[in-house]
Structures are given as C-alpha cells and as structure tokens.
Amino acid sequence: MGVGGTLEYISELIGSGGSHSYGKRKKKNQFQTVELKVRMDCDGCVLKVKNSLSSLKGVKSVEINKKQQKVTVSGYAEASKVLKKAKSTGKKAEIWPYVPYNLVAQPYIAQAYDKKAPPGYVRKVDPYVTTGTMAVYNDDPSYTSMFSDDNPNACSIM
C-alpha cells in the first residue's frame, strides 16, 4: 500500500468511526471541463449565467466567451448538472456542438456545415453517417448456387 492509499485508509477509518466500509466507498467525481453553448445577448446575461454556474457545488472556474456564446466550466461537477443549472437561468443552453473544422473528414457536407458556427468550427457529426443510400439484398443461398459452375446439376434448363 502506498502513501496515498495509507492516508486514504486512515481517513476512512477515522471518518467512519473505526468500522470498515470498503464496499460503501463514495465515488468521487473526476475533474472535467464542460463546454456549453448558451444564448447570451448582454453583459447582464453573462453575469447571470456566470453567477449561477459558479454557485454549483464542485465548480472551480467559469469562463465565458460572449462572442462565441461559449461557456467553459471546470471542476468536479457532472456535465448533466451543469447543463441543468445553465438552463435554469432561462437561457437556451446545450452541450457545445462544434469541433475545429480540421478534425472533421468532410467539413462541408450538409450535416457538418453550420452558418451559425464560430469561425474555424463546424458542427460535430457522427463519422459513420453517410450521405448516400445503400441497398441491402437478402443473401439467399438458393439463388447464389442456382447457376454455379461448381454444381453440375445447377442448371437443368441449359
């Protein structure tokens, strides 16, 4: 057991009154950065969103880019809770839907191109989505072996 594990074990023993509770350990949230697109028109909107998200438990920093309508929240809060708190301000909010255009294989297809995207960004699309259609035929073995050169009784008509 390393130093960190030893300290964690001792603090758990002290915190639980001396009883072992290995299976009942509380899962800690990991530090993460959540990016949101929030519709903000004025400085009052920016302040309202910033104060609301800063009051959320686990949030360490809130950065707002009003021009791009982008809010970056860093901390130990879950993304769903951050999004819910942003929507509770009355503003239209969603998870940041854009990626830099050089990360997309085809940035100018209809699904990716967005006029409202900030410069240098396109909408995030699923890489497996295709723009064309594909026909799938049932692979019935009776039709494929009917006119086979390997089977001498395959074509009794000819």
Can you tell me the mean pLDDT for 121-148?
60
39 touches 92 (CB < 8 A): yes
Q: Confidence class of residue 131 from pLDDT cuts 50, 70 and 90?
A: low
Averaged confidence pLDDT in the chain: 77
**What's the pLDDT at 47?**
93
Indicate the SS3 state at residue 50: helix
Nearest C-alpha neighbor of 69 from the set 35, 34, 39, 33: 39
**What's the pLDDT at 11?**
74
Instruction: Summarize pLDDT for 65-98 with one digit per residue, the tens.
Output: 998 899 999 999 898 999 999 999 999 999 888 8
On the question of pLDDT at 60 being above 60, the answer is: yes
- Name the H helices within 66-118: 79-87
**What's the pLDDT at 65?**
92
Nearest C-alpha neighbor of 33 from the set 60, 3, 8, 57: 60
**What's the pLDDT at 3?**
64
Instruction: Summarize pLDDT for 106-115 with one digit per residue, the tens.
Output: 766 777 777 7
CA dihedral 38, 44, 48, 54 (to 10 degrees): 90
The radius of gyration of the chain from alpha carbons, rounded to an integer in Å, stands at 28
What's 102's DSSP letter? Answer: G
Instruction: Tell me which range, 2-6, 28-32, 78-82, 123-127, is most confidently predicted by mean pLDDT.
Output: 78-82
**What's the pLDDT at 20?**
52
